[in-house]
Amino acid sequence: MEKIDNKQIINLLCNPDLTQYLTNKDKSELCQCSKYIFFKCTQNRLQSLELFLYQLTDRRTIFSPSNYTNKEILQNQLIHISQAIEAYKNTAIRLGIGMNYNYHLVKYTTQSFINLTKLRLVYVIIPKFEFNNILSNLENLDTLWLDEIIISFNDAEENTPLALPPLLNNLFWSNCKQMHYDSAIDLHPVAFHNSLSDINFDALSPLEIPTYSIKNLKFLTSYNAELQYTQTINQLIQTNPKLTQLNTLIEALDNTTIKLISHSVNLSKLHFDNDYGESDIQVTDFLPLPYLNSIEFNIVPIHRLVYASQLIKCCVNLVNFICPWLPEIEDNLQGLITNIEHLEYLTLRNCSNSPDFITFKLVNQNLKYLEFSRFNPLKIDFKLFSSLENLKRVKIVIHAKFHRNLTEIRDYYESLTGWRVFIYEYVIQCWKE
């Protein structure tokens, strides 16, 4: 009976629903516990393949032009990645490729993983016809990440749109470009990829994202400052009624975006990436946004606080707020947080080098969960929020620079009264008793 119970415990520990929360180090330690655990976790462990990280030492020689011809280099590259393909071909459903990998390697690899659900392309130049062919073979693809890629085309392809999968529900693109090439250019994959070093990336036109063929998006991410993408975002919001989350830049929104969000019943989450205040804000009409219940800001310059405050006031049903903390904006931040009537989940990230903690008392009585990231764990004052009646949990994310104080940190948190504390390498979980 004891063996059966132990096996049940092991199966529970190997459950992907639990292992997804482990760090890579913890997963490695778990796999080393026994052969049974190793093989039990293998399928989940091999579901994701990031070829940017594959055998970095070998890549320096394999991908170097050296004295080989382009044909010989390509052959060596195919042999190199075939090892990874063989190891992952029966399990991988998520693939990341790019950087030193030319478009033929992308094509060759994706042909070996026809059941991919996620494809991430990073810093690679691909002819448009090859890009469309690659995607047409991935019938199960629901997530596409395009990060600093270049789509090239000739005269005949100029008006051919990108053939994005119709069942796509997660689209990410950031700083992607397009360029025209003439008939004189060498399209051999190695030579074409090497031409990247001669291209003025910033001088290229932004990549045109088709909007009429995508109608099933739930997650949309556009980290691009070009004004033409505001119209693209607006069109995608309009044609994708299932959209639940929009990740973008503050300056990418305009009055039309706000109006569309105000009527999008499923769009509940809005995330803003780093904003350094270099571009003008386009929004002037702040309409009620009753369906938004979660907003996240990565960085908010002090002169953007008025805009952020106006936007948050529009979200009358906001329950989740994630924002940066800086000493110079604390007064503004206090007023902003205090005025969020239905706030239940609050995350503050220390985006400064200040060793201090917040100085104001949290008074939002609906708060259930607090998270503090990158603050000195020894500076966190529980008196500022312990009296909140509905508060259930506090999570502290420990920055690596505080690891030298782990003994003091452990002593401090174990001495807290009224809290059940679990201390891990990078996280402290505090449950209110």
| pLDDT tens digits, one per residue of 26-82 | 666 666 676 666 555 555 556 888 887 555 445 555 656 567 888 888 888 888 888
**Residues in contact with 102: Cβ distance below 8 Å, sequence separation at least 6, in sequence order:** 74, 77, 124, 189, 190, 192, 193
Q: What is the dihedral of CA 316, 320, 325, 329, to 10 degrees?
A: 0
| pLDDT tens digits, one per residue of 172-210 | 999 999 999 887 788 888 888 888 778 888 899 999 999
CB of 329 closer than 8 Å to CB of 300: yes
HEC profile for 111-165? HHCCCCCEEEEECCEEEHHHHHHHHHCCCCCCEEEEECCEEEECHHHCCCCCCCC
CB of 141 closer than 8 Å to CB of 120: no
* Core vs surface per residue 172-204: b (16+ CB within 10 A) or e: bbbbbbbbebeeeeeebbbebbbbeeeeeeeeb
| pLDDT tens digits, one per residue of 130-171 | 999 999 999 999 999 999 999 999 988 888 999 998 889 999
**Residues in contact with 147: Cβ distance below 8 Å, sequence separation at least 6, in sequence order:** 98, 120, 121, 122, 123, 172, 173, 174, 175, 176
> Considering the entire predicted model, what is its pTM?
0.86
